[in-house]
Structure 1
Amino acid sequence: MAGRLKTPTGRYGGRSAEERQAERRRRFLDAALQLFGDSPGYRSTTVAALSEAAGLSTRQFYEEFRTLEDVLAALHLQVNDWAEEAALAALVDARDLPLAERVTAVFRAYAANVTSDPRRIRITFVEIIGVSPRLEEQRLARRARWVDFICAEAAAAAAHGEAAPRDYRIAATAFIGSVNGLLHDWRAGWVAATLDEVVDELVRQLLGILRPAGWCPLPARTACEDEREAR
C-alpha cells in the first residue's frame, strides 16, 4: 500500500512508541541543524546522509518525514520557537521596567539566542530562502508573527503613555527587516561591532519609531509641551 510506513506501537526498552518516535524526530532535527546549518547545506544533503548523521535508517526517516523539505520546515519553526521563547521570557522578567529597558532586555535575549549558534542564523536567513512556495509562505508567516509581537507591545506601550499612539504595522515590518539583515551581516563578519553594539543600535531604532521627534512620554508631557512653547 502506498504512503508512509506505519509507526510501531507498544513499549520497548521501557519507552513508549510515542517516546521513541519523539527521540527519532529529535535526532533527525539535530542532524539537520548540523548538515543544513553548516556543511554541506540543505540543497546538498541527501536522505541517506541525514539518516547516517542521525544514526538512524532511511526507513526510520520515512516514518517521520516525507521529504527533506519537511525536515527544513520543522527545523525553521524550531529555531524561531527558541528565539520567541527567549524573547517572551525576557519580556516577562522586564515587565515592570521602563520602556527603554524592556526593549533592551527583549532584544538582548532575542539576539543572544539567535546568534548563539551560527547554524541557526543560516537556517533562518539563508537556507530557507527560495526553496519552495510553501516554505516562502512559512517564512513570511513567521516574520508576520514577529511583526504582530512588536505591534502588540507598541500598542500596550502607547496605552500606558510610553509610546506615540499610531498604527505600527508598516514600521514594525521595516524594523524586522533591519533586525534580520543586521544580525545576519554581523554573524557573517560584515559588521565590525560587538553584539551589544548591534543590539544597542536596534534598540535606538525601535525607540525612535516608538517615540518620534517632538513626542514625549505621558509623565513628562507637560514639561515637553512647556519646553516647545518656550522655543
Structure 2
Amino acid sequence: MAGRLKAPTGRYGGKSAVERQAERRRRFLAAALDLFGGTPGFRGTTVAALSETAGLSTRQFYEEFRTLEDVLAALHLQVNDWAEQAVLSAYATVGHLPLDERVTALFRAYADYVGGDPRRIRITFVEVIGVSPGIEEQRLTRRSRWVDLICAEADVSAARGEAAPRDYRVAVTAFIGGVNGLLHDWNAGWVNATLDEVVDELVAQLLGILRPRGWQPPDG
C-alpha cells in the first residue's frame, strides 16, 4: 500500500526510482517474514526493528507503508500468491493424470511451499488471526479462493467421471478448515508425523469427499 511520504524520482546507483522502490519493498517484506514469522512475531515487532532488520530507515518504511498492519497484509497476500502459483504450476504438468495422482501432486506442491518454511505457516495460519477486521476479511477472502480452486478441480473430476457430481462448496470449506488446522498443529509440533504423512492424510480425506462410500464411476 502507498505510504504517506512521496518517494524520490530519477535514477541513482544505476536503478530507477521504481526499481529502488521495488527493492525496498522486497527488503521490508523479507524482514517481516523473519520477524512476523519468527521472533518476536507481528505483535512484538516495531517499525524501528523492522527497518533495522531490513537495513533501511524508518523514513523509507513510511515511503512504502502506512503501518505494520499494511506490511502483514502484503506479506500474507504474497505467501498465498506464491503458494497458489506453486499449485497452478504443478497442475500444468499433472492435469492429465488420474485423480489420485493429480490430487497428490497438487497437495505436495502446496505443502512443499508452505510447509517447507515454518515462517510461512505462521504468517498464513497464526499471525493474521484477530489483528483487525480488514485483515480478517482478507484472510477469509483468500481462504475462499482456495475453496474455489478445489471446487473447480472437483467439477473437472466429476465431468471426467472420476468423482461424484454434486455441489462441493460446503464440504470443501470444511476440508480447508481441516487443512489449516492440521498444518498449524504439525508445524507447532503437536502432530507426530512427517510432512509426507500429513499430505497422505489430506489426500485421503479429499478423495473420500470426492468419492463417497457407495458411489461408483460411470461405465466406460
TM over 0.5, shorter chain: yes
Q: Secondary structure at the match of 1:9?
A: coil
Which residue matches 2:159?
159
Could you report, residue by residue, the CA deviation over 1:87-119 in whole angstroms, capped at 9, with x for unpaired residues? 111111101100110000000110111011101
Unaligned runs of 5+ in 1: 223-231
Q: Secondary structure at the match of 1:163?
A: coil
Most deviating of 189-198 and 129-138: 189-198
**Structure 1 runs (4+) greater than 2 angstroms displaced:** none
Which residue matches 2:37?
37
Check if 1:180 corresponds to 2:180. yes
- How many angstroms apart in 2 are the aligned matches of 1:54 and 1:217? 55
Which residue matches 2:88?
88
Summarize the alignment of residues 1-231 of structure 1 with structure 2, pairs less than 5 Å apart. 4-218=4-218, 221=219
Q: Give 1:79's aligned amino acid.
A: V
Residue 217 of structure 1 deviates from its aligned partner by 2.2
Residue 187 of structure 1 deviates from its aligned partner by 1.2
Q: Give 2:184's aligned amino acid.
A: H
- How many angstroms apart in 1 are the aligned matches of 2:32 and 2:178? 27
Q: Secondary structure at the match of 1:15?
A: coil
- How many angstroms apart in 2 are the aligned matches of 1:68 and 1:75? 11
Unaligned runs of 5+ in 2: none
Residue 160 of structure 1 deviates from its aligned partner by 1.2
Residue 209 of structure 1 deviates from its aligned partner by 0.4
- Aligned residue pair count: 218
Q: Secondary structure at the match of 1:197?
A: helix
Residue 214 of structure 1 deviates from its aligned partner by 1.1
Most deviating of 19-28 and 189-198: 189-198
Q: Give 2:203's aligned amino acid.
A: V
- How many angstroms apart in 1 are the aligned matches of 2:202 and 2:217? 20
Structure showing greater radius of gyration is 1
- How many angstroms apart in 1 are the aligned matches of 2:39 and 2:192? 25
Which residue matches 1:226?
none
Q: Secondary structure at the match of 1:56?
A: coil
